[in-house]
């Protein structure tokens, strides 16, 4: 066995790791081989010298230097980690999006299409109605007219559509298509009241201007009537007729026409109150009468004269249509507005007796009876009895 083959046993022998057999074998070889014996002795001395190496202590400043460097590195790494985390998050997100896009490209395309379609649908649904029907705004009135012509009781066009039209178009259209059986309006009531007057206007040229004023005033005051009328008081009256109410007005009108307007508005208001809207919409009784006569008398003893005038109607075989006393706050004077229906043959006599009550400021001619027909042989007398007052201003 060559010396090279004993080296492994020598390494074990010097460390006391060799078995007894290895020891005996090596000791037998060393008796004949001085080289191996010298090697074992030298290595054993080396190991003995290594074992005698003392442990060196750490330098004093090593740990303090290390501590400072570690703190510095820790702070820097904390900063880097933040940046790295943000960068890695973006990187991961991009990777996920890329992967998702690659794997679900069809789904994404479908989603984008759905979003685009919903967007354009939303845009078109927000367009005006004219774009929906594919016609321009000029075609709208025709469509609405067709609807209203087809059915007289058709509803009004929808507000949204009506808003598209101009104000002028709406007004004309509404007036044209307005059914005749609608509820009564103030305008038509005023027209009904004025209808007999218009029939006799050729014969009452003097009073025409005042009637016009009355008509206008009636329309104006009718809007304010409810505010002006403050209380309703029953007034005792002799005979069968009673003055139903005394209405105070705050009107400060000075002219006669305005007094008439006040009286007329009050009359219309009472009609509306007593008979309701349907009665107001119905044709006025005056329009069916054979003729009308407006009389204006200024009297001294107001109460007596009013009672007399009312009793006169019964004496003449007629009846009272309306009786009201209106107090004008402006000068404190009262005005009794009496509407009575007198048989035509006794109209002249009644007119004479009324004229005898006081100063006749406006009278009518009995010739109005010529407008009467066979179906109406009475005369409607609209009598205004005004209480004389020193402060009262003369009528125009």
- Binding positions for another protein, rule: CB under 8 A: 7-8, 11, 34-35, 37-39, 41-43, 45-47, 49-50, 52-53, 55-59, 62-63, 65-67, 69-71, 73-74, 77-78
* Residue 43 or 281 having the CB closest to another protein: 43
Least separation in angstroms between residue 2's CB and another protein is 15
Least separation in angstroms between residue 96's CB and another protein is 24
* Residue 49 or 206 having the CB closest to another protein: 49
Least separation in angstroms between residue 35's CB and another protein is 6
Least separation in angstroms between residue 70's CB and another protein is 5
How many Å apart are CA 195 and CA 199, to the nearest integer? 6
Classify residue 242 as left (phi > 0), alpha (psi -120 to 50) or beta: beta
CB distance 47 to 15 below 8 Å: yes
CB distance 337 to 218 below 8 Å: no
Least separation in angstroms between residue 28's CB and another protein is 19
The answer for residues whose C-beta is within 8 angstroms of residue 183's C-beta and 6 or more apart is 277, 278, 281
Q: Report which of 201, 203, 220 is spatially closest to residue 211, judged by C-alpha positions.
A: 201
* Residue 72 or 176 having the CB closest to another protein: 72
Task: Tally DSSP H helices, then E strands, for the chain.
Answer: 15, 7
* Residue 40 or 297 having the CB closest to another protein: 40
If you count them, how many residues does the chain have?
396
Helices (H), 151-255: 159-164, 167-177, 186-199, 205-228
Max CA-CA distance within the chain?
188
Least separation in angstroms between residue 27's CB and another protein is 16
CB distance 188 to 163 below 8 Å: no
* Residue 53 or 119 having the CB closest to another protein: 53
Helix, strand and coil content of the chain, in percent to the nearest 5, comes to 60, 15, 25
How many Å apart are CA 144 and CA 158, to the nearest integer? 9
Least separation in angstroms between residue 110's CB and another protein is 44
Q: Report which of 381, 373, 320 is spatially closest to residue 352, judged by C-alpha positions.
A: 381
* Residue 14 or 241 having the CB closest to another protein: 14
How many Å apart are CA 174 and CA 153, to the nearest integer? 13
Hey, what are 364's tokens? 């009518």
* Residue 7 or 388 having the CB closest to another protein: 7
How many Å apart are CA 246 and CA 18, to the nearest integer? 147
* Residue 57 or 181 having the CB closest to another protein: 57
Least separation in angstroms between residue 122's CB and another protein is 52
Least separation in angstroms between residue 52's CB and another protein is 6
How many Å apart are CA 192 and CA 187, to the nearest integer? 9
* Residue 71 or 279 having the CB closest to another protein: 71
């Amino acid at each position: 066995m060559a010396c090279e083959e004993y080296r492994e046993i020598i390494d074990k022998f010097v460390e006391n790791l060799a078995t007894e057999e290895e020891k005996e074998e090596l000791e037998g070889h060393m008796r004949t081989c001085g080289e191996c014996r010298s090697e074992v002795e030298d290595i054993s001395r080396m190991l003995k010298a290594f074992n005698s190496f003392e442990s060196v202590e750490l330098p004093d400043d090593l740990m303090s230097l290390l501590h400072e460097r570690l703190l510095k590195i820790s702070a820097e790494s904390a900063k880097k980690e933040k940046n790295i985390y943000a960068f890695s998050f973006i990187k991961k997100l991009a990777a996920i999006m890329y992967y998702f896009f690659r794997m679900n490209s069809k789904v994404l395309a479908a989603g984008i299409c759905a979003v685009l379609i919903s967007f354009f649908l939303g845009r078109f649904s927000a367009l005006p109605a004219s774009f929906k029907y594919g016609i321009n705004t000029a075609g709208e009135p025709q469509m609405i007219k067709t609807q209203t012509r087809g059915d007289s009781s058709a509803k009004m066009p929808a507000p949204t559509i009506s808003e598209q039209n101009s104000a002028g178009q709406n007004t004309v259209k509404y007036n044209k298509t307005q059914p005749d059986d609608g509820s009564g309006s103030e305008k038509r009531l005023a027209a009904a009241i004025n209808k007999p007057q218009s029939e006799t206007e050729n014969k009452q040229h003097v009073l025409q201007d005042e009637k016009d004023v009355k008509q206008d005033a009636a329309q104006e005051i009718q809007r304010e009537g409810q505010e002006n009328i403050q209380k309703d008081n029953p007034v005792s009256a002799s005979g069968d007729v009673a003055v139903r109410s005394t209405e105070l007005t705050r009107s400060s009108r000075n002219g006669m026409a305005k007094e008439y307007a006040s009286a007329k508005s009050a009359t219309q208001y009472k009609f509306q109150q007593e008979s309701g809207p349907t009665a107001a919409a119905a044709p006025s009784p005056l329009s069916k009468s054979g003729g009308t006569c407006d009389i204006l008398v200024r009297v001294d003893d107001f109460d007596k004269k009013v009672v007399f005038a009312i009793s006169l109607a019964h004496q003449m075989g007629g009846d009272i249509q309306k009786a009201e006393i209106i107090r004008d706050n402006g000068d404190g004077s009262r005005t009794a507005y009496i509407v009575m229906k007198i048989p035509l043959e006794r109209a002249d006599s009644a007119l004479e007796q009324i004229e005898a009550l006081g100063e006749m400021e406006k009278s009518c001619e009995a010739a109005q009876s010529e407008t009467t027909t066979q179906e109406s042989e009475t005369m409607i007398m609209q009598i205004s009895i005004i209480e004389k007052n020193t402060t009262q201003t003369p009528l125009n």
